[in-house]
Chain A
Amino acid sequence: MKKKTRTIRVKALARVEGEGALHIKLVDDRVAEVRLEIFEPPRFFEAFLRGRSFAEAPDITARICGICPVAYQMSACHALENALGVEVGGSLRALRRLLYCGEWIESHMLHITLLHAPDFLGYEDGFEMARDHREAVQRGLELKKVGNEVMALLGGREVHPINVRVGGFYRAPRPKELAPLVERLKWARDAARDTVLWTASFPFPDHEMDYEFVSLRHPSEYPMNEGRVISNRGLDIEVAEFENHFVEEQVPHSSALHARLRERGEYLTGPLARYSLNYDRLTPLVQETAREAGLGPVCRNSFQSIVVRALEVLYACDEAIRIIEEYEPPDVSGVAIRPQAATGHGCTEAPRGILYHRYRLDAEGMIEDATIVPPTSQNQGTIESDLRRFVTAHIEDEEDVLRHQCEQVIRNYDPCISCATHFLKLHVSRE
C-alpha cells in the first residue's frame, strides 16, 4: 500500500526573536520527522574572544543579545571570577541580582505582551491585539519599561549595559539614586500580579510533557547568579562539572548547536524548569498568586509558561524592592583582580534558562579558549519533541490550524535565536 506523506512547513517563524523555520513530515498519519531549522547566521563569538583580555568578555558577550545582555555579562563575570579566585559578595552581589531582576522583567514582559499573548487571544500580532486589549498592552509595555529603568540606572544603559565589570561595577549607586525606583517597582508589582491573573484566564490545551527540568539551585534564593546545577532526575553538580555531564553537538538543520545530558538526552531549561525545581524559594506573595492562578508547585504544560513568566516578573519586582530597601553602598565598586593562568566556569539563569560560560586564560589574563552554551540552543531537542507529541495528539486537525498551533508550541519556549547561534564549526575545502 502506498504511504501517504504530508508536510507541515513554516518557512519563517513569526513572533520569535531571530530567524528560524519549522519542518514536520507525516507519513501515514504518524510523525516521521520534526526539524526546528535555525538559519540565523552563526556569529563566531567563541572564536573571536580568543586573544582578548578577560576584562573585555562581559562587554563583548553582551553583544550576543539585545534582550538578555545582562545574562551574558553575569555568566562571563562569574566564570572569570571563578578562574581568578575572586569572590563578589555583599552589596555588589545584591546589585548584580537587582540588575538581573530588571532584565527578567523587561525580557519576560516583552515576550508575554507582544509575542505570546496574541496566540491565546486569537490575534496575528501584538499590534492588532493592542486595539482591543489596550489596557493590558499598555500595562505590559509600562511594566517592561520599569525593567528597562532598573537596567538603565544600575547598568548605565538599557541595551548592553556599560557599568558591569569583572569584580563588580565601575560605579556603585548611592541609596538615594535607587530610591525613586521603589515607587515604580511597587506599581510594577501590582501590575505584575494583574498580569499573572490575566494570563491565567487564557485558554490552555491539555498538554503536558514529562520533562527533565534543569536549573540552578541555591540554598536560600530563587536562582539567578549562583547555585548548583540540578534536575528532577537526579542531576546535582557543581557548575565546574557542566561539561562532564552536558554535551553539545551540531545537527545538519540548525546553525545552533544542540545539547543533551550525556546520560539521558534532551532536557528543558527556563522558567518552567526554574519554577518547578525552586517553587519553595519563591516569596509568599508569588506562591499565593500562583495558587490563585491555578498553578501548583510544578508546571509541565508549555502553554502555561506564559503564566510562569508573569509569576517570575512578580517575583523580580518583589525581590528588587527588597534589595533596594536593604541596600547599603559597598566600600568599593569592584573587587581587585589579578590576572593569572587559569580556567573558570560560570552558570547563571538568563530569562530563558541556564547560560554556561567557560574561559581558559593565560598568565596575562588573555582568553585562550571560550565556551558559551545558551539556553535556547539547549532547548532545541525538547522543542522538537514537544512538537512531535503535540502533532501526534492533534493529527486529525485541519492543516492550517495545526501549522499555527505548531508555531505557538515553539513560541511557548520564548526562543532567542540570536543567542542560540553563537558558534558553528566551519570547514573550508578548496579545490
Chain B
Amino acid sequence: MTESRARSPRVRVIGLGNPYRHDDAVGLHVAREVRRRCRGEADVWERESFSTSTLQDSRPDDGLILIDAASSGEPPGTIQRLDASLGPLPEARSFRGSTHAISVSESIELARALGPFPARLIVYAIEGEDFALGEGLSPRVTAAVSETVERVLRELRSMVEA
C-alpha cells in the first residue's frame, strides 16, 4: 500500500458559535470576515460545535485557530489569546456551559489524549455579554470583531510563513 500523497502543512481557522444566542455567535462573525479577507491562505470554517472529529486528519505540523465567545468575568468585548498547544485551557474560562454538549476545552483535551493534534492550537476568546435567545451581537462585542479579525489574520499568516 503506497503512502498517502504528502501535503503541505495546513492552517485552519474555525469560528464556533450558536447563531441564535446573541453574543455566542461572535466566533461565526469573525470567521466570516477572516474568510473574506484571507486570500485562500487558510481553510476557514464556521461550526456550531467542536469535536474530536474536527481534528481527525490533523498532522503534527498543522496550525489551528479557534474563535469562540467566552463567559469568564472579563469586561464584555475583551479579547483573550490562549495557547492550547502546550497545555489545557484554564478551567475557569467556560466557552459554552452546557450539560448537553462537550465543551471546547474538553474536546481539545480529548483530542490531545487521543491524537492527532496540531502543533499549534491558538484560541481567541471574546468575552460576551448577552447569551439569551436571539440574533445579533451586543455593541461591545460587535466593536471587538474587527480587532479580532486583524489579530487572527496576523496569526494565520505567521503560521503559514513558519
Q: Which residue from chain A places its CB closest to the CB of B113 in the assembled complex?
A: A130
A233 CB within 8 Å of chain B = no
A105 vs chain B, min Cβ distance (A): 16
Encode B89-110 as 1/0 by CB contact (under 8 A) with A. 0000000000110100010011
Which of A85-93, A131-139, A253-261, A404-412 forms part of the interface with chain B?
Answer: A131-139
- Which B residues are in CB contact (< 8 Å) with A66? 100
Q: Which residue from chain A places its CB closest to the CB of B102 in the assembled complex?
A: A114
Pair B114/A418 contact, Cβ less than 8 Å: no
Q: In the complex, A304→B1 CA distance in Å? A: 42
Q: Which residue from chain A places its CB closest to the CB of B115 in the assembled complex?
A: A134
Count A-side interface residues using an 8 Å CB cutoff: 18
Q: Which residue from chain A places its CB closest to the CB of B109 in the assembled complex?
A: A127
A344 CB within 8 Å of chain B = no
Q: Number of residue pairs across A and B with beta carbons under 8 Å?
A: 30
Encode A1-31 as 1/0 by CB contact (under 8 A) with B. 0000000000000001111000000000000
Taking A127-B106, A127-B109, A145-B53 as contacts, is the C-beta distance between A137 and B100 under 8 angstroms?
Answer: no
A324 CB within 8 Å of chain B = no
A162 CB within 8 Å of chain B = no
A62 vs chain B, min Cβ distance (A): 15
Q: In the complex, A127→B102 CA distance in Å? A: 10
A4 vs chain B, min Cβ distance (A): 34
Pair B99/A137 contact, Cβ less than 8 Å: no
Q: In the complex, A204→B110 CA distance in Å? A: 26
- Which B residues are in CB contact (< 8 Å) with A16? 99
A271 CB within 8 Å of chain B = no
A153 CB within 8 Å of chain B = no
B52 CB within 8 Å of chain A = yes
- Which B residues are in CB contact (< 8 Å) with A240? none
B 72-122 contacts with A by CB, 8 A: 99-100, 102, 106, 109-110, 113-114
- Which A residues are in CB contact (< 8 Å) with B102? 114
B 12-38 contacts with A by CB, 8 A: none
B150 vs chain A, min Cβ distance (A): 33
Taking A141-B52, A145-B53 as contacts, is the C-beta distance between A18 and B110 under 8 angstroms?
Answer: no
Pair A131/B100 contact, Cβ less than 8 Å: no
Taking A141-B52, A145-B53 as contacts, is the C-beta distance between A130 and B99 under 8 angstroms?
Answer: no
Q: Which secondary structure dominates chain A's binding surface?
A: helix
Taking A141-B52, A145-B53 as contacts, is the C-beta distance between A19 and B114 under 8 angstroms?
Answer: no
- Which A residues are in CB contact (< 8 Å) with B110? 126-127, 130, 137
Encode A179-200 as 1/0 by CB contact (under 8 A) with B. 0000000000000000000000
- Which B residues are in CB contact (< 8 Å) with A114? 102
Taking A127-B106, A141-B52, A145-B53 as contacts, is the C-beta distance between A18 and B113 under 8 angstroms?
Answer: no
- Which A residues are in CB contact (< 8 Å) with B106? 125, 127
Taking A127-B113, A134-B114, A137-B114 as contacts, is the C-beta distance between A18 and B52 under 8 angstroms?
Answer: no
Q: In the complex, A418→B100 CA distance in Å? A: 8
Q: In the complex, A371→B100 CA distance in Å? A: 24
Taking A138-B114, A141-B52 as contacts, is the C-beta distance between A17 and B109 under 8 angstroms?
Answer: no
- Which A residues are in CB contact (< 8 Å) with B52? 141
Residue of B99, B100, B113 near A134 (CB, 8 A) is: B113
- Which B residues are in CB contact (< 8 Å) with A145? 53
Q: In the complex, A19→B106 CA distance in Å? A: 18
Taking A17-B99, A18-B99, A19-B99 as contacts, is the C-beta distance between A137 and B53 under 8 angstroms?
Answer: no
Pair A17/B113 contact, Cβ less than 8 Å: no
Q: In the complex, A267→B53 CA distance in Å? A: 38
Q: Which of B52, B99, B109, B114 has the most CB of A within 10 A?
A: B99
- Which A residues are in CB contact (< 8 Å) with B114? 130, 134, 137-138, 141
Encode A131-157 as 1/0 by CB contact (under 8 A) with B. 100100110010001000000000000
Q: In the complex, A131→B100 CA distance in Å? A: 23
Q: In the complex, A17→B99 CA distance in Å? A: 6
B80 vs chain A, min Cβ distance (A): 22
Q: In the complex, A131→B113 CA distance in Å? A: 5
Pair A18/B100 contact, Cβ less than 8 Å: yes
Residue of A19, A137, A417, A418 near B113 (CB, 8 A) is: A137
Task: Mark B residues whose CB is within 8 Å of A.
Answer: 52-53, 99-100, 102, 106, 109-110, 113-114
9 residue pairs of the A-B complex, CB under 8 angstroms, read A16-B99, A17-B99, A19-B99, A114-B102, A127-B106, A127-B109, A134-B114, A137-B114, A138-B114
Q: A17-B100, A18-B100, A418-B100 provided; 7 other pairs, C-beta below 8 A?
A: A125-B106, A130-B109, A134-B114, A137-B113, A137-B114, A141-B52, A141-B114
Minimum-distance CB pairs A-B, first 8: A130-B113, A131-B113, A127-B109, A127-B110, A138-B114, A19-B99, A127-B106, A130-B110
